[in-house]
Copies of this chain bind each other. A is one copy, B any other.
Amino acid sequence: MALILLFTDFGTRDPYVGQVKARIAELAPTQLVVDLLHEVPDFNPHAGAHLLAALADGFQPGSVFLAVVDPGVGTPRNAVVLLAGGSWFVGPDNGLLSVVAARHADSKRWRITWQPEALSATFHGRDLFALIAAEIARGEFPTNKLSPITQFDVEFDAGDLPRVIYIDHYGNAWTGVRRLPVNTPVIAAGKPFKHSESFGFVGKGEGFWFNNSVGLVELAVNRGSAAADFGLRVGDAVTVQRLN
């Protein structure tokens, strides 16, 4: 049994997720579908690519990630498949899969050359990506629908992204910077953040940074909102003073 993990900028309340799941349920009813993350920052494949790379680690081999942050849907941008680190990724060729790809030496890339008969101009998640993901999850790799390529059209590099890339509902701000030594000074919103292992080790309302549970530097406030208290937003720069 394979795990199909959904990673999209659809709203959790929008009808798009349900339609994707219904399609997968019809095509691969015995596979397990999990909503890994929706409401990835809208129209922002760069932040999404770094989020996906952090979240995609540590799943069982053969897991299939259906990734949709796709402001160019319906235009001539391509659709692609990636095999990296034992997991599969299906999504648009706009950079979204490229950070995962760049961080794995064993990455293999394909372009989706097939088009289904019923392909809407605005919902390839349901009409194209779900079909390919279901086939892969069922163990039927659709070679006749794919063409191997060596590069994506859009490639971001493997390095960190020193910006806020996600804010959760508590107001904790995830950055695209990977795990740092605990004595590293981190500056965001013009303010220095000190390190703490977890929330309960600083005072109520106090800000800090920590290496989070998916290996990223995260800015937080104990029992409060880092986003509200420091005015942090997705895209804000984060400065890290790496010590030698």
Contacts and interface: CB of A to CB of B under 8 A. Distances in A.
A122 interface: yes
A151 to B, nearest CB: 22
A224 to B, nearest CB: 9
Interface in A187-244: 197-201, 210, 212-214, 222-223
B169 A210 contact: no
Dominant SS among interface residues on chain A: loop
Interface stretch (A68-76, A103-111, A131-139, A140-148): A68-76
A25 interface: yes
What is the total number of copies of this protein in its complex? 3
Contacts of A1: 29
A189 to B, nearest CB: 21
B14 A35 contact: no
Contacts of A155: none
B34 A5 contact: no
Interface of A: 1, 3, 5, 10-19, 21-22, 25-26, 29, 32, 34-39, 42-43, 51, 55, 59-60, 71-75, 77, 120-123, 126-127, 166, 168-170, 197-201, 210, 212-214, 222-223
7 closest Cβ contacts across the A-B interface?
A11-B169, A74-B198, A123-B213, A75-B200, A120-B213, A18-B36, A15-B37
23 contacts: A3-B22, A3-B25, A5-B22, A11-B169, A12-B169, A13-B169, A14-B37, A15-B36, A15-B37, A15-B51, A15-B168, A16-B168, A18-B37, A21-B34, A22-B34, A22-B36, A26-B60, A42-B170, A43-B223, A73-B199, A73-B200, A75-B200, A126-B213
